[in-house]
Amino acid sequence: DKYYGRLRKKFLRIYTEKQPRMFYKKGQESQELDVAFQLLVDCSGSMYNKMEETKKSVVLFHEALKSLKIPHAISGFWEDASSAKPEDKPNVIHEVVTYKNSTLPNVGPEIMQLREEEDNRDGYIIRIVSEKLAKGPEKHKFLLVFTDGEPSALDYQQDGILDTHEAVKLARKSGMEVIGIFIEEGEAKEATYQLMKNIYNHHFLVANHAEDLRLKIKPLLKKLLLKTIE
């Protein structure tokens, strides 16, 4: 099936870890936030001119979550185009920050290991991650996808946007929030907004550069966390 790939076995372990509960402390009191965060980074070749800014932005989000002592996981994903065949499409999910170590003081530089690779079968990866998140005990789940919004892989070019949209829609039906985050080069173009809308509906953010996203991270994170407080 052109919409499906194969996840390399050595990366399967990242989805067998139990996701921990998260806490938010205020003064002497502590209120449990029943929430899970997952950040995905598109590592496709088309990200070559956006990857550095994207990584800086992911670091900013990581630091914001870490400062609030909120555990989270960060992974890059791509498809191995050189090995892909119609009957076998190997996909990679490279976890650089785990839930277990995400709030430790020295964790973060690992994010810079991510680089542009080959293809991206976004819908397939979003299904894998969202299915795992949906099985977790947390009431509130957030999946953030840092991307250039252009799914492209073997037998996937014409249907990638629709398939990714369907994967996002399915994930949302399970109760989680899925948000697309796009780092534009210079002024955001109308085509960018339309592309992100086609995939994520109105749940996306477009930033002109890393500094622009820095200004947008705080209100975005605040908005998401407020949803977890009853």
Task: Give the CATH number of the domain where residue 117 resides.
Answer: 3.40.50.410
3-state SS, the chain, equals CCCCCEECHHHHHHHCCCCCCEEEEECCEEEEECEEEEEEEECCHHHCCCHHHHHHHHHHHHHHHHHCCCCCEEEEEEECCCCCECCECEEEEEEEECCCCCCCCCCCHHHHHCCCCCEECHHHHHHHHHHHHHHCCCCEEEEEEEECCCCECCCCCCCHHHHHHHHHHHHHHCCCEEEEEEECCCCCCHHHHHHHHHHHCCCEEEECCHHHHHHHHHHHHHHHHHCCCC
pLDDT at 126: 94
- What is the average pLDDT across 77-106? 80
Within a domain: 72:
yes
Domain span at 125: 6-11+34-226
Within a domain: 81:
yes
Q: Which of 183 and 199 is assigned the larger pLDDT?
A: 199
Number of domains observed in the structure of the chain: 1
Average model confidence (pLDDT) across the chain: 79
What's the predicted TM-score (pTM) here?
0.81
Within a domain: 122:
yes
- What is the average pLDDT across 157-186? 88
Within a domain: 117:
yes
Within a domain: 129:
yes
